[in-house]
Homo-oligomer: A and B are copies of this chain.
Amino acid sequence: MTDTNRRVIFAKRPEGWVTPDCFRVEDAPIPDLADGDVLTRNIVMSVDPYMRGRMSDRKSYAAGFELGETMNAGAVGEVIASKNKNVPVGTVVNGMLGWETHTLVKGGAGLMPVDARAAPLSYYLGILGMPGFTGYYGLLNIGEPKPGETVYVSAASGAVGQVVGQIARIKGCRVVGSAGDDEKCAWAMESCGYDVCFNYKKVDSYAKALREHCPDGIDVYFENVGGEMLDAVLANINPYARIALCGMISQYNLVKPEGISNIQSLLINRAMIRGFIISEHFDGLPGFIADMTGWMKEGKLKYRETVAEGIDSAPAAFIGMLKGENFGKQIIRVGADPA
């Protein structure tokens, strides 16, 4: 067993886009365990859009990252040392671990064992994890899609969007998406249940593109993007439309957010926007796991990842994900699967 931990430190707050110098990679000794502590060898790690908010010192729903500390993220690891009888050596766990090869988890707090044989470990960070549950909850509990309705998803091929599209299709909806390149769009239509997916970088006007691709209007919008796209959607919603507000990735790197001009459409159409944070709905997890594994067994769900190799690749993978360079869920492979 190594006694060195390679880790990514939060070195500088970004203004606007995140840049590589916001991070510093370094080696450090692995600290000693106190009673109750657990040490993980990290295997796969997630980078997600909400982390951008944690890098600002603005108030947000997730606690901010502290400068000089190790970044952290949802990850799956294997327990390789333990002074906690509830989490013995050899357990494979899912939890908030560091951007690092090894994490000392104080008191073993927040670790959930995962079944390493039921699915690839990275699935617990994606389709069976937080992003999958986000798509499932937001679509079904806020969007409440009905058969024949039009569902629009603004980041169709992302970790969340690919789940939303497939569930919307299962629910009998017409599913329209957008993504930032042609290959992503083609894949969303081939594999993620989208009837149409258009490349938003190639259209003159979002509003015009939505009018064309949603000729019957939009009944449900799963919002990941914000800004100009939300405004265009508001111009195209149907009466009683529901908008599940999950994220606004287009706005996270702007110093001043874009304005929304079409709020009156909510009134005219008696429509609703609701923001949600998936961590507040964990009571719905059992239903989610049951539905998703059922649909997977029936062959109704597909899933795609982009994997970056090694902890040193985390900053670039995170920055690329914020720019939309990943294709499917962005994962960092930190270490090998358990033998």
Contacts and interface: CB of A to CB of B under 8 A. Distances in A.
Interface of A: 59-61, 226, 230, 245-248, 251, 256-264, 266-277, 280
Contact of A257 (B230, B263, B269): B263
B264 A248 contact: yes
A251 to B, nearest CB: 6
Contact of A248 (B247, B251, B267): B267
B261 A245 contact: no
B261 A266 contact: no
A257 B261 contact: yes
A258 B264 CA distance: 10
A241 to B, nearest CB: 10
- Which 3 residue pairs spanning A and B have beta carbons closest together? A259-B259, A267-B275, A266-B275
A272 B275 contact: yes
26 contacts: A60-B268, A61-B267, A61-B268, A61-B270, A226-B263, A226-B264, A230-B263, A245-B266, A248-B263, A248-B264, A248-B267, A257-B262, A257-B263, A259-B259, A259-B261, A260-B260, A263-B273, A266-B275, A267-B275, A267-B277, A269-B275, A270-B275, A271-B275, A272-B273, A272-B274, A273-B274
A138 B246 CA distance: 25
A283 to B, nearest CB: 15
A270 B277 contact: yes
Contacts of A280: 270
Nearest to A60: B268
A59 to B, nearest CB: 7
B270 A273 contact: no
A245 B267 contact: yes
Contact of A274 (B246, B256, B263, B271): B271
A275 B337 CA distance: 50
Given A271-B274, A273-B274, 12 more contacts: A226-B263, A246-B267, A248-B263, A248-B264, A258-B259, A259-B259, A259-B261, A260-B260, A260-B261, A263-B273, A272-B272, A272-B275
A271 B272 CA distance: 11
Contacts of A248: 263-264, 267
A248 B267 CA distance: 9
A260 B262 CA distance: 9
Contacts of A258: 259, 261
Contacts of A276: 270
A247 B270 CA distance: 11
Contact of A256 (B230, B261, B270, B273): B261
A229 to B, nearest CB: 12
Contacts of A271: 274-275
Contacts of A268: 59-61, 275
